[in-house]
Chains A and B, each alone.
Chain A
Amino acid sequence: MRRTRARAVWALHLAILLLLLGLQFVVPPFHQIMLARIMALAVYAIGYNVLLGYAGLMSLGHAMFFASGMYATGLTILHFGFGAGAAFGLGVLAGAIMATAIGLVTLRASGVSFLIVTMMFSQAFYLATLYFNEITMGDQGFIISGRLQPLVAGGREFPFSDPAVKYNLALVVFALSLMLSVWLTRSPIGRVLVAVRENEERTRLLGYNTSSYKLLALIVSGSLAGASGSIYTLMFSYVGSSFASILFSIYPLLWALLGGTGTTLGPLLGTALMTYVVDIASGLTSSYLLVVGATLVILIMWFPAGVMGGIRARWVRWLP
């Protein structure tokens, strides 16, 4: 039973990835870009979900991890002429280091305290990007498209300005993140994390070092956020303080909650849903925030556990 369920889970995710791979040939160019962007940002949401949905920690400071990846990638390309691959690696690393540092200091707090502590550190980070503006160019930001060299593989060049390159790069990073999250939830580590989320005291009494597990979750979460920031920079070229602001910390929270925390596909769904609702609404009316807000309220009333969570509870029980 568990074997068939495992196979069903992997098959479903593989199918989704294949669908995404195929969509780029079918949809109009505008939606191609939209989907590429959604996938890049969904990595951010997946990272957020690892911490919230599986370890039960709600952070309001994830923008600092995203922005760390962004700045690490952007600055090394702009000032040192790094190649895309190395810059991306550095971006992920920056997210991981930031998460480790923050985790060592803040994981003593939990619940709402953790919420505010992460928010405060993120706010300090945001202010720092403004303060050190000779390097970061502050809120005005900088662009890297002039310095960014194309990818070279198999003797051919793949410039980042090519929409197909953007799409498939985002797809690859998204696929890896998605698979990581699926693996994590089904692994022993993932089960301990869920146990920590449900009842930390009991898990500790059972002999697990819950602090280490929480730190691990935070590091994975931060690395994914950093990866998202990094790939976003490579795709869209602009780095600026606005990505380190509190609003940008609210987005992954919103996307994960809307899609369904504690599900692997929820983050993708939430990101896609919000992106399209905003886009469609702003095409319909100039008062589009009204539509977006109303949609959020209505959706959460129908699906209190997120859309994916609701689907899982009502129809498809075996969704991870």
Chain B
Amino acid sequence: MSFEGHLFLALLEGTVTGFVLALTALGLSLVFGVMRIVNVAHGEFFMLGAVIAWYFSTMPGGFLPALVAAPLLVGGVAFLADRLVLRRIEYKPESTIVATIGLLYIIQQLVLTVYGPYARPVAAPVYFRIDFPWFGYSGYKLVVAGVSAALLVATWLVLSRTTLGLYMRATQQDREMAQAFGVSVHRVYALVFSLGAALAAIAGALVVPVQQAHYLMGLDALLMSFIVVIIGGLGSLGGTLAAAFLIGMSDGLVSVFFSPTLAKIVATLLVALVLVLRTGGLFGEEGT
């Protein structure tokens, strides 16, 4: 295939990856930004979304209801975790890490026992192939990109236009001040944690027809989300989007020129270098 073909493919893949990554990472970014904690189980929420989508795809209703059910169910799980555990340990950063690692093990084992160790495919709700001059491409992937973009816009609207969004931004900027103004920080935290999980779940549900549902798929999602969030800056939606695109594109583009494993190494090092040079990430606060 010609060079332009390779390049175009890389750009297309990068765009799709970027949008999906942004959606997956957004939840983590919000949790990081508002609650100042690391949720190691974030990837497991993503995986749960994918697995729930699989269950729905085997039932008469089909795959589409999962896009509503998955975020609701997973958000509920997250809400419980917040109430039962995180609140009790007072959101201390180090204790939260241990607690969320425990949560990760619990979720993984439950899924392994109930759903099984298999990687199961999910049929895409719409399937069509787009023929470009150099190659064929999955139409559903473009649909996923579009839906992700819509969800990102919706989240941005919630953050910037609604009262909840106002409370969240206030709590993120200055917790004590927000409390002084009557914002119930605990309620905001519970909502943010649930929202973060719901976003991850819907990303998982959207992506699963492109990949497959497997009980270990959360680890990769977690890793990528971490990276996006830190590069983009804590709690910054714009930053998350920019970082997701940077990573999505770079991976594809670099591997046009280098062998894939080498490309991954180079991409990883580039990411690390960006961080070192701009310690606040691209858009975040300095010195965080």
Q: Do chains A and B touch in the complex (CB under 8 A)?
A: yes
A296 and B227 contacting across the interface, CB-CB below 8 Å: no
- Chain B nearest Cβ from A272, distance in angstroms: 16
Quick check: which of B150-158, B197-205, B274-282 contacts chain A, the rest being far away?
Answer: B274-282
Q: In the complex, which residues of chain B have a beta carbon less than 8 angstroms from the beta carbon of A111?
A: 287-288
Q: How many residues of B contact A (CB 8 A)?
A: 47
Chain B positions within 8 Å of A121 at CB level: 269, 272
**Given A290-B106, A294-B102 in contact, is the A127-B288 Cβ separation under 8 Å?**
no
Q: Judge whether B230 and A113 touch: CB under 8 Å.
A: yes
Q: Is the interface of A mostly helix, strand, loop or mixed?
A: helix
Per-position contact with A for B247-288: 1 when CB-CB < 8 Å, else 0? 000000000000001101100110110011001110000011
Q: Is the interface of B mostly helix, strand, loop or mixed?
A: helix
Which B residues are CB-close (under 8 A) to A9? none
B234 touches A112 (CB 8 A): yes
Q: Which of A124, A257, A289 contacts B109 (CB 8 A)?
A: A289
Instruction: State whether A127 and B94 are in contact (beta carbons under 8 Å apart), knowing that A113-B281, A293-B109, A300-B102 are contacts in the complex.
Output: no
* Known contacts A289-B109, A296-B102, A120 near B268 by CB under 8 Å: yes
**A119 at interface, CB cutoff 8 A:** yes
Could you tell me if A109 and B109 are in contact, using CB atoms closer than 8 angstroms?
A: no
**Chain A residues within an 8 Å CB radius of B288:** 111-113
- CB–CB A254/B98 < 8 A: yes
Whether A116 lies near B227 (C-beta < 8 A) is yes
Contact with B along A240-262 (1 / 0, CB 8 A): 00000010001001100110010
| Chain A positions within 8 Å of B85 at CB level | 297, 301
Annotate A215-249 by CB proximity to B: 1 below 8 A, 0 otherwise. 00000000000000000000000000000001000
Check A130 for interface membership: any CB of B closer than 8 A.
yes
Query: Nearest Cβ distance between residue A73 and chain B, in whole angstroms?
Result: 24
Contact: A300 with B227, CB < 8 Å? Answer: no
**A residues 251-292 touching B (CB-CB < 8 Å):** 253-254, 257-258, 261, 287-290, 292
In the bound complex, CA of A305 to CA of B89 (Å): 10
Q: Is there an interface contact between B105 and A300, defined as CB atoms closer than 8 Å?
A: no
- Inter-subunit contact B106/A297 (CB<8 Å): yes
Contact of B261 among A130, A258, A295, A296 (CB under 8 A): A130
A90 within 8 A of B: no
Chain A, Cβ-Cβ closest to B268: A124
Question: Which among A109, A120, A304 is the interface contact of B89 at CB below 8 angstroms?
Answer: A304
Contacts of B223 in A (CB 8 A): 119, 123, 246
Instruction: Check A110 for interface membership: any CB of B closer than 8 A.
Output: yes
- New A-B pairs, 19, CB < 8 Å, besides A112-B288, A301-B89: A106-B276, A111-B288, A113-B230, A113-B275, A113-B279, A116-B226, A116-B227, A117-B275, A120-B269, A124-B265, A128-B265, A131-B261, A246-B219, A257-B95, A287-B109, A293-B101, A296-B98, A304-B90, A304-B92
6 contacting pairs across A/B (C-beta < 8 A): A106-B276, A116-B230, A124-B272, A131-B265, A250-B40, A300-B95
| B interface list, Cβ under 8 A from A | 32, 38, 40, 85, 88-90, 92, 94-95, 97-99, 101-110, 112-113, 219, 223, 226-227, 230-231, 234, 261-262, 264-265, 268-269, 271-272, 275-276, 279-281, 287-288
